[in-house]
Amino acid sequence: MKSLRIMMAVLFSLTLFFAFGISPSFASHSVKVGISLPVTGSLAKFGEIEKDAFRMAQKEINAAGGINGKKLDLIIEDNTGRPDVGRSVVEKLITKDKVVMLGGGYSSSVTYAVAGVCQQERMPFLVNTGSADKITSSGWKWIYRMNPSVSHYADAVKSLLSKVVKPKTAAILYENSLFGTKGAKSFGKICKSLGIKVVLKEGYEHGGIDYTPVLVKIKKLHPDVIYMVSYIMDASLLMKQSRELKLTPKMFIGGGAGFTLPEFKTNAGVASDKVISATLWHQVLPFPGAMDFYKKFKAKYNKSVDYHGAEAYSACYVIADVLRRAKSFKNTDILKSLAATDMMTVFGPVKFTTWGKLKNQNIAASYVVQWIDGKLELVWPPKHATKKFVYPVNWLKTWGY
């Protein structure tokens, strides 16, 4: 009798699916959502902070009733930071795990590859970190992005440069990746608009162990500012070797990514002090729950959290909101719900629109942070600042010479 009841239940679910378009997920006790992140490999620090933030949000959401009474089931898969692995992971999530939508998306190169699969498979994908412009400028219907594109990362940096630093020359270093090349190109446009002469613009391969040749080249050119688009290990090494060479521009500027993680301070040591960076979030910003999230994360994982964690945490809440409002868990209904999103998160407001060439793109601001006495302080714009921007900087004294 028990086997008969189970068989009848399965047949009933399949009948609903084929007759009324109700997916098995809609009839089950949980809702499966796939999350693609680099949990291992050179980008693992970013993947780790985002995975932790997703899990924290998932636990809170389920404790509060989940998705209309169903548990939110996040299936987090490791893409190792490689586009080919990312594609395979997503195909597995779609075909084997039968997820109803996809989230995550760290690293522009991997995210762009994953987005291509989702577009082809008609799978709704909410990107929370991958920032290359073409992720949302390719006209793709099934791809939505919560974070700003990399071409807007340095908007606040532009304001700070024009009003305070006022440099005449700049050098640009960047990783030869989708994120790095676009970030460098965008900062080059900022330099042109401000009348700043770019004396050197040079890419490098990720994972190098000696950047002294290019840093020596920069030192001979005496630029006022050095702008670097780098992930964590490269960012740390660039600053350590800049200190060793006594390279002293008016300001070192990071383009986000590796310059805002807690590990940057740990790895670069004293060479991290007074470095500024573009950022997309800080816990003191006037978004409901921002500081509370920061404190909870630090208490739970015994480490600070930057914009990467805030993006992932907020994306999980956006996903839950989308699924609660969806008429069913069919891809077309989820897509309609995504398009209608209009909510506040700890990362800020989330509402998708067409923004210039960017489609299904949330509009979010950028800010400037500075490492001051071992802490990542918000310094620009002044109305939100936790500390006054330290400038000018005596780099040799700061570095202990």
Domain boundaries, the chain: 23-148+287-362, 152-279+366-398
Give residue 207's pLDDT.
79
Any residues with CB less than 8 A from the CB of 307 and at least 6 apart, and which? 256, 260, 279, 280, 281, 282, 347
Euclidean distance between CA atoms 255 and 204, whole angstroms:
15
Give residue 8's pLDDT: 52
Are 182 and 108 a contacting pair, CB within 8 Å? yes
Query: pLDDT tens for residues 330-374?
Result: 999 999 999 999 999 999 999 999 988 999 999 999 999 999 999
Which tokens is 79 given?
Answer: 């893409």
Q: How would you classify the pairing of strands 225-229 and 197-204?
A: unpaired
Q: Are 193 and 147 in contact (CB under 8 A)?
A: no
CB-based burial of residue 75 (10 Å sphere; 0-12 exposed, 13-18 middle, 19+ buried)? middle
Q: How far apart are CA 181 and CA 173, in angstroms?
A: 9
User: Is the backbone peptide bond immediately before 24 cis, with ω within 30 degrees of 0?
Assistant: no
Residues of the chain with pLDDT under 50: 2, 4, 6-7, 10-11, 14-22, 24-25
For residue 78, list its beta bridge partners: 37
Say yes or no: do domains 23-148+287-362 and 152-279+366-398 share a fold. Answer: yes
Cα(255)–Cα(3) distance, rounded to whole angstroms?
60
pLDDT of residue 209: 87
Q: Which amino acid is present at 302? A: N
Class assignment of domain 152-279+366-398?
A: alpha beta
The CATH topology of domain 23-148+287-362 is Rossmann fold (3.40.50)
Give the per-residue pLDDT at 27: 54
8 A C-beta contact, residue 211 and residue 238 = yes
Q: What is the dihedral of CA 131, 137, 143, 149, to 10 degrees?
A: 20
pLDDT, tens digit (0-9, with 9 covering 90-100), for 42-60:
899 999 999 999 999 999 9
